[in-house]
Chain A
Amino acid sequence: MKRVHLTINGLKKEFVVARDRRLLELLREDLRLTGAKQSCDRKGQCGACTVIVDGKATRSCLARVATLDGAEIITVEGLGTPENPHFVQEAFVLAGAIQCGFCTPGMIMTAKALLDRNPTPGEADIREAFKRQLCRCTGYRKIVEAVHLAGAFLRAERRPEDLKPDLSRGLIGVSMIRPSAYAKACGSAQFTADIPLQEAVEIAVVRSPHNSALIEGIDFAAALKMPGVLGVMTARDIAGTNRVRAVVPDQPVLCRRRIRVMGDPVAVVAAQSTALALAAAEKVRVQYKPLPEVKDPFAAMQPGAPIVHDDRVDTNVFLDQPLKRGDVDRAFAEADVVVEADFETQIVHQAPLEPEHCIAFFEDEDQDEPKLVVTGRSINIHPHADQLQEALGYDNLVVREAFSGGQFGIKLTITSEALTAAAALHFKRPVRYLPSLKESMQMTPKRHPFHMKTALAARRDGTLLGLKWDAVVENGAYTFYGSTVCNRALWMLTGAYHIPNLAARVRLVYTNNIWGSAARGAGPPQANFALESLIGMLAEKLGLDPLEIRRKNSLKVGQPLSTGKIVDEWFNDGCLDALAPFYRKALQEAATAGRGGRIRRGVGIGAAAFGIGSINDISNAEVELMPDGGVTVYGSMADPGEGTDTMVVQLAATFMGVAPDKVRLCLRDSELTPFSGSAAGSRQTFMSGGAVELACQKLKAAMAAAGARTAAELAAAGKPLRYLGTKQLPKSAPLDPTTGQGGNFDTWVHGVQMAEVAVDTQSGEVTVLRMTAVEDPGTIVNPQAVEGQIEGGVDMGIGMALREIYEHGKTTDWKTFKFPTIRTMPEIRIKTLETPRKRGPLGAAGVGEFQMVATLPAVTAAIHNACGRWITALPATPERVLAALKE
């Protein structure tokens, strides 16, 4: 042990610490200063834990307290409070640099340290200072803007009060400050691991090292003898179905007998601390009988292949859905030109920074069944409560969302919640589960890899005649929303275009690999990469302009989507028109830069149309008139960073004609909210914003009917104060099992992107220099939030296009995942169009996922433009680019 004296946020304190005690642990655990976060398993990869030590930005997860005697430390809590923020915190808020907020305290401390030594940093200085700070939400652009803005505040060139948005002339189209922004900037927003949970036990999970095996015995006697251990739980201790269900209940909470993928949970150890639980988990002896495994979806479809779910079915093919429209054989026979290609996309981790932390505890213990509260970062609280009730055999269970450190689709499914809740029920104690990043990666679904065999037929003038698309999608060991992802690919199969003849098929195949589920875009990014690449190939073959061939084939009002649904509005052409001048200029610049030499410049475009509001979708919202004339909005509308909170406030305030500070939100508790659906599918503005509108209409109608202007008057008239609005999309048929024809999305967001790249023909390295994104998401509620979504989505798309790949068992942290950093951030230009949609609230459709659907093909088209090679397997790594160049 060692005694040290530290000055922390201006207060001098003495500590006696173990020699390996890290500063992050001291701050979070001893001092409850939880602004500094932990994401990367204390490897110094993410910077979320950054604090200032003696004037330097320091990763507190690496700093040993014993070496810091006499140091002066500043954490984000030492800068300012939401009521009295520091100017750097103000800058991050005003620049819109805060989305989920998990990385924000570390970013702010890095900014402060930089500005303290350099009040006028240039972009290169900022990139250097932030090179080890990771952010998954923003694409870093607005963080750079925030640092510049903070510098301007520091130099007294600008004042925060001059930048506050003017809310006096309406709230739509105004970049209102998000309600949660200051709490995130000041470290007072509590993420799950930040919540104090008295008398909690902490758990560790024993997981299988095998991909396919039978459990023949579990011996935990030695674990029970370990210090601080409360007990061990196995599948026998779970009262319900012990199966987690999204589409089908095929994943055990704890495996009783069969292992289907490495990392499957076998037992849970509860102890006084995570460290003691992990130590005891090492002592649990599980006897496995290894079984044959299948890791390739094509092999999994062969006769005699090991059946992954042999207890339930006799095939690995979970879904085999065709889609047929027109006469594709005739179209190909009559075509002047056909292009064919096989495409592959990789498994990608959604990569939220926050690990799969979860807590569970009992409330109201005097009831028949005490209420079990499960808190994590679910974006799907009602279905998750329902699924947990079923899996654990316990009805009185509610799910709450803490502040969420990103999700990007991953939290549409239950991850750590089932084990945490099961442990609370079994041990009858509050339980905290703080898995590592490595374990979090192991327990979460990923983006499905697609293998697509495709062909596109056209006339000589570029008119599209037919598309063949045969996709094999690796499901992995469990299904979750796998079939929905496949259906989404079919629903959006024809992208922005009219293709009259279609022959498509998608097969979703179980393997002994990590399972897939929702991931930003969920299906269409993969399918659209193939379609847009084919269109680029076709343009090349016919000698046509890539922009013009897209314009020529744009879907028109009155024409059908892939599933036969006729569209009544479509806004692709406006996006193409808006991009055209940028495109012509970029082509000229690339030509000027030269086509020869080692470094070759290229320009590529990718378009997309993205559906929002799937068939039979429903969202509910309640609006309650409050005594002060304001309203409270209730709904399960998670905000893992996109800005749901500000969207709801701006819409509700507009509909009710009240000031935004008179709108309160209750959005994160399955007990207190109506079911509004999930924060997925880019649907919150269109669906839940629509439900808020309907609820406000009901409240206003009731007030008008009663002649009431206040809550007191409405109550005096004997009327309720709280009104439910339900947005239910028209009844629509699911996909026909033989033709794939049926309903489709209710509205669409449109856009086209242009990538400008430099390809190093010796190393194969591709650098994205600039992205230009044109997007029409309908009426824009909050421009800054929309820009943030576009920038973050483009950055994520570039990551998937060029670098990111998840290999189960090998990808264990942010370095091995190749997380995009500020060093790879390109310039991003944004042009938004705002064509009001017929059925959106105030004409809004939505934004969130669309971007990367267009980014992937834009980047690979630019690579082709630079060096004449189509990259058809993602990611376009240097090795793949070099191999293509050698062909």
Chain B
Amino acid sequence: MQTPKRTAQTSGSTLHTPNGDVIFDSEGFLLRPEEWSETLARLLAAEAGLETLTNRHWEVLHALRTFYFSRGKAPTGAELKAATGLGLLEIKALFPGGLKFGARRIAGIPNPRGCL
């Protein structure tokens, strides 16, 4: 798979994929979570140093997304444990960057932003 080009901007970056432009904030989090796909997740995982996403990774990623779309926020550690049955430290070990910069970023969960 050819790596899409990423353009840096003042307030973030845009990834130019064959399916269209995807906008990220300044920390590399998706601005609009509905633009996420498993293909995009693999790209983000590769950028984070994860060459392969195992079933356990996918379980966490899908749990994050299901929670986000049903509850309107990222789960707390306890909520993610309950949703996956995995320990918090176990989940952290799965993703370089831990919960936030690893799992949440790859799952396409946006950063909560201060709104002005």
Contacts and interface: CB of A to CB of B under 8 A. Distances in A.
Given A382-B112, A386-B111, A614-B115, A675 B87 contact: no
Contact of B78 (A364, A485, A670, A687): A364
A737 B31 CA distance: 18
Contacts of A386: 100, 111-112
B73 A614 contact: no
Contact of A368 (B10, B89, B115): B89
Interface string B73-87: 100111001000001
Contacts of B31: 616
A7 to B, nearest CB: 49
Given A390-B100, A395-B77, A396-B88, A488 B72 contact: no
Given A622-B71, A734-B11, A371 B78 contact: yes
Contacts of A395: 77, 88, 92, 98-100
B32 interface: yes
Interface string B21-47: 000001100011000000000000000
B115 A677 contact: yes
A693 B48 CA distance: 39
A726 interface: yes
B100 A683 contact: no
A413 B77 CA distance: 24
A368 B88 contact: yes
Q: Which of A321, A385, A386, A481 has the most CB of B within 10 A?
A: A386
A258 B87 CA distance: 39
A522 B77 CA distance: 35
B116 A681 contact: yes
A383 interface: yes
B66 interface: no
A70 B100 CA distance: 60
A390 B88 CA distance: 16
A750 B67 CA distance: 39
Given A367-B88, A396-B77, A726-B72, A522 B11 contact: no
Contacts of A380: 114
B9 A412 contact: no
A299 interface: no
A481 B114 contact: yes
Interface string A362-384: 00100111010000000010110
B70 interface: yes
A617 B115 CA distance: 7
Contacts of B81: 367-368
Contacts of B10: 319, 321, 483, 734, 737
B76 A396 contact: yes
A248 interface: yes
B26 to A, nearest CB: 7
B113 interface: yes
Contact of B73 (A245, A518, A673, A737): A673
A345 to B, nearest CB: 18
Given A247-B26, A371-B78, A731-B32, A675 B73 contact: yes
Interface residues of A, number: 55
Which of B9, B26, B76, B92 has the largest count of A CB atoms less than 10 A from its CB? B76
Nearest to B87: A368
A518 B116 contact: yes
A480 to B, nearest CB: 9
Contacts of A247: 11, 26
A671 interface: yes
B32 to A, nearest CB: 7
A488 B81 CA distance: 40
Contacts of B113: 383, 677
A674 B73 contact: yes
Nearest to B89: A368
B115 A724 contact: no
Contact of A371 (B9, B27, B76, B115): B76
A620 B72 contact: yes
A246 interface: yes
Listed residue (A382, A395, A683, A726) with the most chain B CB atoms within 10 angstroms of its CB: A395
B88 A398 contact: no
Contact of B116 (A248, A382, A522): A522
A393 to B, nearest CB: 9
B77 A369 contact: yes
A460 to B, nearest CB: 39
A343 B115 CA distance: 28
- Greatest chain A CB density within 10 A among B70, B81, B112 is at B112
A395 B79 CA distance: 12
A239 to B, nearest CB: 11
A511 interface: no
Contacts of A674: 71-73
Nearest to A412: B114
A317 B69 CA distance: 39
Contacts of A673: 73
Contacts of B69: 724
B115 A367 contact: no
Contact of B9 (A248, A385, A614, A737): A737
Given A319-B10, A620-B72, A369 B112 contact: no
Interface string A155-175: 000000000000000000000
A364 B10 CA distance: 41
Contact of B114 (A246, A670, A726): A246
B27 to A, nearest CB: 8
B70 A412 contact: no
A678 B115 contact: yes
A389 interface: yes
Given A364-B78, A367-B78, A383 B114 contact: yes
Interface string A708-725: 000000000000000010
Contacts of B116: 412, 481, 484-485, 488, 518, 522, 614, 678, 680-681
A745 B9 CA distance: 21
A246 B26 CA distance: 10
Interface in A326-342: none
A365 to B, nearest CB: 12
Interface in A223-249: 245-248
Nearest to B110: A618
A319 B100 CA distance: 28
A380 B27 CA distance: 19
Given A389-B100, A395-B77, A737-B10, A678 B26 contact: no
A680 B114 contact: yes
Q: Give the interface centre of A368, A485, A622, A674 by most chain B CB atoms within 10 Å.
A: A368
Across chains A and B, which 9 residue pairs bring their CB atoms closest together, nearest first?
A674-B72, A620-B72, A382-B112, A677-B115, A368-B88, A396-B77, A681-B116, A675-B73, A383-B112
Given A321-B10, A383-B113, A396-B77, 12 more contacts: A247-B11, A382-B112, A383-B111, A396-B88, A483-B10, A518-B116, A621-B72, A673-B73, A674-B72, A677-B114, A678-B115, A683-B115
28 contacts: A247-B11, A321-B10, A367-B81, A368-B87, A371-B78, A382-B73, A382-B112, A383-B112, A386-B111, A389-B100, A395-B98, A395-B99, A396-B77, A396-B78, A412-B114, A413-B114, A481-B114, A483-B11, A522-B116, A616-B32, A620-B73, A621-B72, A622-B71, A676-B72, A677-B115, A678-B116, A731-B32, A734-B11
